[in-house]
Structure 1
Amino acid sequence: MPGQQLKKVILFALLATFVALSVWWIDHYLWLSFGMIIAALLIFLVRFEKRAIEPREMVLLAVLAAIAAVSRIPFASIPSVQPTTFVIMMAGFVFGAESGLIVGVVAALSSNMILGQGPWTPWQMLAWGLVGLTAGLLKNCSIMNKTWGKISFAIVWGFLFGWIMNLWGLLAFSGGEGVLDITALLTYFIGSALFDVMHAVSNVIFLLMFGGIWMKILTRFQRKYGLLEKEST
């Protein structure tokens, strides 16, 4: 529907605006983070505007976001290694793009309540939100029905997440000038390469170890209780 597409474009524009403001309005990152939460929820609600959202569906997404957030804590001492990306991927693969976006955005904000808030928070919310969003958008592609397809997705996002955070670093600490400085750009990307590899490898390990059982459990919940069926189709 043209009207629905326009609403989604507007809401995505809001998310982009929040991220842009996080560079110039760096001291107010927490307000921007909550603004992104509201925008993500609105995106979720647009999809379900023709039917009532059941409380148990919202509870399910809240539980998944909580699991994704809490799972960062035991691995906090190991840079870039955490199951958070894996949990967000599973949410997107099973329940669809909007649900994946919600889980990713909420998980980033809530986990940083424990691990530390900062001007990087909106960018982590963006990066993990995009993980869930793209997982949902690609879930029905034939390659995603194969293990190697999911592994490729996990590897790509291990690096893309780091690159998005590199972009924040350049913008935040260079006043925007670092974007045009090839030396600074290469320095950021080379400096983060090891961490990006660790993120990608940990994504693959969690996927191979727990991906099958998570898909079965979440799919069983969805079919048994009729949760988020409209979104995931």
Structure 2
Amino acid sequence: MKKYQQLLNVAIYFILIPMLLIFGFFILRDKQYNLISMSIVILMCVPFFIAYEKKESTSRELVLLAIMVSLAVVGRTAFFFLPALNPMAAMVILAGVYLGPDLGFMTGALSPLISNMIFTQGPWTPFQMFSYGLVGFIAGWPFIAKLAKKNRVILSLLGILVGVSYSLLMDIWTVLSMDRSFSIERYLVVITQAIPFTISYLIANVTFLNILNTAIGTRIERVKMKYGINI
């Protein structure tokens, strides 16, 4: 049963949500980006509620999710004057590492959606949701999370990896948003121009991960142990 649940999760995160992004971008032509964003939220909640609907700790896990999303949003807002140097990605990574891939994905997807209510919602929001969701999912993969908890170097390398991945994914949207077509040549140009921002992402991720890991990770582990939350 657990195997089928994992397959469902992967199908939703990496097949249905990308298809929804494609539909919104090319068919709706970004005119209904709020609808697409809400549809992503509904889709990503499906595996969570299927897996946890009979567990007594569901409400506690939702509280942990809400806390991590809130911290990510507050972190981005506090560093609004330095958009490329904020702790939101680090919070998403820590959510994945300590709460698992599913809650990591949900934290990643909800954080830009909610924080953009403060900054600006736009056709880029669904792409940010998927990209940050992917960051949380990768960080929460059991083998990666186990290593990251024990080793600061691995945690820092994880911050670098997902920082580069997020930048590359968002650069795809940048290219498509120009004239709704994609070319490798243009993509390479955009990647090259984005190098300073990518480096900023990496510095922010590594710095905030090393600053926040012990404080946040220790508290999450205590809560999980105290209330018998098995994630």
TM-score (norm 2): 0.90
The number of equivalent residue pairs is 226
Q: Provide the secondary structure at the position in 1 that maps to 2:82.
A: coil
3-state SS, counterpart of residue 116 of structure 1: coil
* Kept in 2: contact 1:92–1:134 (CA 8 A): yes
Are residues 216 and 38 of structure 1, via their aligned partners in 2, closer, same or farther at CA, if it must alter by over 3 Å?
same
Q: Deviations for 1:112-139, whole angstroms, at most 9, x for unmatched residues? A: 0110000000011011111111111144
Identical positions, percent: 28
Q: Alpha-carbon deviation of 1:86? A: 0.8
Deviation string 1:55-100 (CA, Å, 9 cap, x unpaired) is: 2321221121111112111212213111011111111111111111
Task: Letter of the 1:180 partner, please give it.
Answer: S
Q: Which moved further from structure 2: 51-60 or 65-74?
A: 51-60
Q: Secondary structure at the match of 2:194?
A: helix
Residue 226 of structure 1 aligns to a residue whose secondary structure is coil
Q: Is 1:51 matched with 2:55?
A: yes
Q: Which runs of 5+ in 1 are unaligned?
A: none
* Residue 222 of structure 1: aligned partner: 224
Alignment match, 1:7: 8
Post-superposition Cα deviations, 1:141-183, rounded to whole Å, max 9, x if no partner, equal 546521111100101111111111100111122312xx2241x
Contact 2:148 2:158 in 1 (8 A): no
Map 1:1-233; keep pairs closer than 5 Å: 1=1, 3-12=4-13, 13-24=15-26, 25=28, 26-49=30-53, 51-52=55-56, 54-137=58-141, 138-142=143-147, 145-176=150-181, 179-182=182-185, 184-227=186-229, 229=230, 232=231
Residue identity opposite 2:151 in structure 1:
K
Worse-matched range after superposition: 119-128 or 15-24: 15-24
SS in 2 for 1:127: helix
Distance 1:57 1:181 in 2: 42
The one-letter code of the counterpart of 1:76 is F
Unaligned 5+ segments in structure 2 are none
Residue pair 1:8, 1:46 contacting (<8 A) in 2 also: no
**Whole-Å Cα distance in 2 between the matches of residues 77 and 125 of structure 1?**
21
How far off is 1:4 after superposition? 2.9
Amino acid paired to 1:105: A
Per the normalisation by structure 1, the TM-score is: 0.89
**Which amino acid is 2:221 matched to?**
T
Cα RMSD (Å):
1.9
Comparing 215-224 with 45-54, greater Cα deviation is found at 45-54
Aligned equivalents of 2:171, 2:218: Cα separation in 1: 35
Q: Distance in 2 between matches of 1:186 and 1:140?
A: 31
- Give the superposition deviation at 1:45: 2.1
